[in-house]
Copies of this chain bind each other. A is one copy, B any other.
Amino acid sequence: MRLHNYWRSSCSWRVRIALNLKGLAFEYVPVHLVKDGGAQHTDAYRALNPMRTVPTLEFTHEGRVHFLSQSLAILEYLEERYPSPALLPADPLLRAHVRMLSEVMNSGIQPLHNLSVAQRVKAELKGDDKAWNAYWIERGLTALQALAEQTAGRYCVGDEVSFADVCLIPQLYAARRFGVDLSPYGLLTRVEAACAGLPAFLAAHADRQPDAVPA
């Protein structure tokens, strides 16, 4: 498998964690989102991913090469194809809770601070992109924590790592990057601390990727 991705992209990071948790080796293919206008906008990359986002997972199945994008779709695919260790609980209601929490981040927060959106806020609307990003992250984390209070154990849903934790870690990194005060989110930062020491999470961290740029 090859993962076309970028060190600091939340959605890339989610998939790196999941691949690591499932013990799946992958080749890291960096896609620089900023340099020279962004490698995601080249014709070569658009052929793999018309949405021009990262990540894209490239893999061979029954002799054919496939390109799969959209991080949650990739996580679901990995879960079905490589079910152990499971990143979704067995119980249908708990599975629903994991997906609800994941989607709060995947559709409710991250798209609004996505690079292409922040760029448009700044360039077209002459807005403060950092303040824009922080607004949506704070609003989303407040809801996320209220929902997680219903289900959290050691992790977001019970005592097993799930998609929700996989989404949470990059989301909190982005929150700090855009200046969000995380002190009201004690439950979320407690879960983050529980994940931080796990080898799969450590190896997937943005700052440890080959294309990472030191602060």
A-to-B contact residues, CB < 8 Å = 50-53, 61, 66, 68-74, 76-77, 80-81, 92-93, 95-96, 99-100, 102-104, 106-108, 110-112, 117, 120-121, 124-127, 132, 135, 140, 142-144, 146-147
Closest B residue to A149 by beta carbon equals B50
The answer to whether residues A72 and B121 also contact, given A53-B108, A80-B92, A93-B66 and a CB cut-off of 8 A, is no
B72 and A103 within 8 A (CB)? yes
Which residues from B are CB-within-8-Å of A61? 93
Q: Check B52 against A143 for contact (C-beta < 8 Å).
A: yes
CB A138 to nearest CB in B, in angstroms, measures 13
Tell me whether A51 and B99 are in contact (CB under 8 A).
no
Say yes or no: B99 contacts A76, CB within 8 Å. yes
How many copies make up the complex?
2
Q: Which of A77, A102, A107 has the most CB of B within 10 A?
A: A107
With A71-B103, A127-B127 known, 6 other A-B pairs at CB within 8 A are A70-B99, A70-B107, A77-B95, A80-B95, A120-B132, A125-B125
Write the nearest CB–CB distance from A84 to chain B, whole angstroms: 15
A70 to B73, CA, bound (A): 15
> Can you list 7 pairs linking A and B with CB atoms under 8 Å apart?
A61-B93, A68-B96, A70-B104, A70-B108, A73-B100, A73-B103, A125-B132
Q: Which of B53, B92, B100, B117 contacts A69 (CB 8 A)?
A: B100
The answer to whether B92 touches A51, judged by C-beta atoms less than 8 angstroms apart, is no
Beyond A106-B107, A110-B107, A127-B125, is A146–B96 a contact (Cβ under 8 Å)?
no
Shortest distance in angstroms between A31's beta carbon and chain B's nearest beta carbon? 16
A66 to B197 alpha-carbon distance, docked (Å): 33
Q: How far is the CA of A61 from the CA of B187 in the complex (A)?
A: 27
Determine the chain B residues whose CB is within 8 A of the CB of A142 once the complex forms: 50
